[in-house]
Each structure stands twice: as C-alpha cells, then as structure tokens.
Amino acid sequence: MTEKEIKEFKEYQLTVSEEEHNLETRLDKFLASQIENTSRTKIKEAIKENHITVNGTNEKPSYNIEEGDIIDVRLPIPKPPEATPEEMELNIVYEDESLLVVNKQADMVVHPAYGNWTGTLVNGLLWHTDNLSEPEKGTIRPGIVHRLDKDTTGLLVVAKDDKTHRKLSSYFRTKEIERTYWAIVWGTPDEKEGTITGNIGRDPHNRQKMAVREGDKGKEAKTHYKVIEYFDHLSLLELKLETGRTHQIRVHLADNNLWVFGDPKYGGNSVRYGPNTGSRRQMFINLFKLLQRQCLHAKTLGFEHPVTGEDMQFDSELPADFVQVLGMLRQNCKPDQLYS
C-alpha cells in the first residue's frame, strides 16, 4: 500500500485488563478481536511496519499480552472507492424535490464503509435518483443525515441537495427532530416511564462495542422510555433519543439489565429472565433463529420541512419478524402468567 492510497491513519490505545491477560492471547489475535474492520493479517502487516508498539516497544505478532500492557496502534485507512449506483428494492415512503424518507429493512448498511462498499442504502439511493425522470433528476446526490445500525429497521430522512442536508443536520444538532423507536426488551423497567442517562464511549475491553463510561471517557447520552406493553419477564418499550450516540439505545438498556431482545452484540440473544427449560426455552431459541438481530425499530419521524416549513410526520409499520415475536409473546407470555 503506497502513501497515495492511504487517506489517513486511525489510532488506538488499549490497556490489557486482568481478565484479558488470563486468556494468554497472542498480540495479533488480541488486536484483531478488539478492533473493528481488521484482521490478523492486517495486524501483522502493521506490526512489521512498526505501527504497533507494546509499552513503547516493538513486539512480534506472537507476543503473549500481559496484564497492564499499553498497546498503541496506528492502522492505515485505505481511501474508500466512490459509491456506485446499484439497483435494489427500497421502501420509499415519501419523496419530493428536496428530500426523501425511506423505511430501511434489516441487514442493510446505511453508508459504504470498510467491509461494506456495496449493497448499502446509499448505493440503492444513487440508482434511484439516477433513474428519476427529467427534470426531476437534475444533479441529485443523496446525502445521509442520520444513520441506523445495520440490523435496526425503520425510518430515515435523506437530503437531495447540500442546502437541505445542512438544514436537516442542524435539526439533529438542535434536537428539532422527533424520533421514536420501539423495542422488545428482556425485563421491565422499575417505572412505567423514565429517562436513562450515562456517557457512552468505546468499550475498553472490546473495541467492537460501546459502553457506559465515566466522565470524559464517554459522550453525554440521554434516552427517554415508556412501557407500551408488559409480558412475562419482557416488555415492549417506546424510546426517544435526546442524543444520538452509537448504539445508544442498546447500550443504555443493557446497562440497566434491559437487553434488547435478540441483540447478539449486547447479550439479548439468550434467555435473560424466567425459566430456561422446556417449551419456553425452545420458543425463544426459535425466535432468535427467526430474528438473527436485535428487535429494534425506528417507528416514527417528525420534522419541519427545511424548504416549505411544513410539519412532516411519518409512522412506519413494524417489520414482519418483529410482529411475529410480538405475536408469540402475546400468546405465550401474558403478564398475568408471571413466574415467582
């Protein structure tokens, strides 16, 4: 890789905890498990090029990490290829000359990034706007204003020009966008309505996850919730974001022992409460296989149109797998059938 092919370097600093030291893990294997979008091969290349040090010293990939080791990592980021139009089926619920609103399906990355240069929402939107009839087409290039995780479904607003993009982005900064999510979670909050706070930053033990962190180790985050429906050891919540941190809902809920149902990254894809035996256990195993993702949906979206000033309000239907989980819970986990 030449310097011309490198856009920038991304730097990390990791400290090996006692728990991680007990794994007796090689340096290259440890870093590949801690840093997103990399591999042991890339880690080995970075070590060879002296981009990785342990306690300020160059070590071999086979070095066994020790408790307290401070590992500094500098990984080159290749310049991303230009996104290209791709024909795909998109659920566009609203569109005009300035913007569009799409109901994103599961298993779709919003924006091209390392490991997902194709098949993203942006690729599909480029094809859609390139195939508009004249004079609709013009010089439209879709601008992503906000994002949803790959396996979170629901509503997204997309700008069609720079002016609209700047205005919509300012709405998010000044909290003038109304967004509500629905989630099925393990457990039930102590109160029917409430607010969860806690700074969110990178998990120090797993760089591929986020966590609630103390002080300046994380960014301020606030999530409001309301219980919509109670089940046996589970509940359906409505959630509103006051801030928009990475994985905010999933992290805040998990930190309060309210794991999003089916979430493989934050522990929601196992039976967290109630008996884990017999037909009940098998039912949840079947539902996890059906979902293979977190049961989280961006249900409503509201904002003032940046051009016309019109009040725009959108409400989306729950996806089929979410509905199927709800149906099974209503049938088999009624709130009056609580276990002691």
Query: How much is the average pLDDT of 159-180?
Result: 90
Which of 173, 199, 217 is the endpoint of a domain? 173
Query: Are residues 240 and 190 part of one domain?
Result: yes
Say yes or no to pLDDT of 184 above 90: yes
Query: Are residues 186 and 138 part of one domain?
Result: no
Query: Are residues 109 and 155 part of one domain?
Result: yes
Query: How much is the average pLDDT of 260-284?
Result: 95
Query: How much is the average pLDDT of 123-139?
Result: 67
Composition of the chain by helix, strand, coil, percent to 5: 25, 30, 45
Query: Are residues 101 and 48 part of one domain?
Result: no
Beta strands in 109-197 (DSSP E): 143-144, 153-159, 178-186, 193-197
The reply to whether 280 falls in a domain is: yes
Residue 42 maps to which CATH number? 3.10.290.10
Query: Are residues 300 and 244 part of one domain?
Result: yes
pTM: 0.78
The reply to whether 84 falls in a domain is: no
Q: Render pLDDT for 19-49 as a digit per residue (tens, 0 to 9).
A: 665 666 899 998 988 887 788 898 999 999 9
Query: How much is the average pLDDT of 285-305?
Result: 96
Query: Are residues 165 and 184 part of one domain?
Result: no
Query: Are residues 318 and 189 part of one domain?
Result: yes
**Residues above pLDDT 90, as percent of the chain:** 63
Choosing from 69, 107, 130, 149, the catalytic residue is 149
Residues 6+ apart with CB under 8 A from 134: none
Query: Are residues 132 and 215 part of one domain?
Result: no
The reply to whether 339 falls in a domain is: no
Residue 226 maps to which CATH number? 3.30.2350.10
The reply to whether 86 falls in a domain is: no
Query: Are residues 328 and 215 part of one domain?
Result: yes
The residue ranking higher by pLDDT, 84 or 283, is 283
Token code pair at residue 194: 């409430």
Which ranges constitute the DSSP H helices of 182-316? 248-255, 278-291
Query: Are residues 246 and 125 part of one domain?
Result: no
- In 10 A of CB 79, how many CB atoms? 11
Query: Are residues 157 and 17 part of one domain?
Result: no
Quickly state the pLDDT bin for 103 (edges 50, 70, 90): very high
Average model confidence (pLDDT) across the chain = 88
Catalytic (active site) residue 149: yes
The reply to whether 85 falls in a domain is: no
The reply to whether 340 falls in a domain is: no
Token code pair at residue 4: 């011309």
Number of domains in the chain: 3
Query: Are residues 184 and 169 part of one domain?
Result: no
Q: How far is CA 90 from CA 105, 142, 161, in A?
A: 8, 14, 20
**Residues above pLDDT 70, as percent of the chain:** 89
- Domain, as residue range, for 159: 92-173
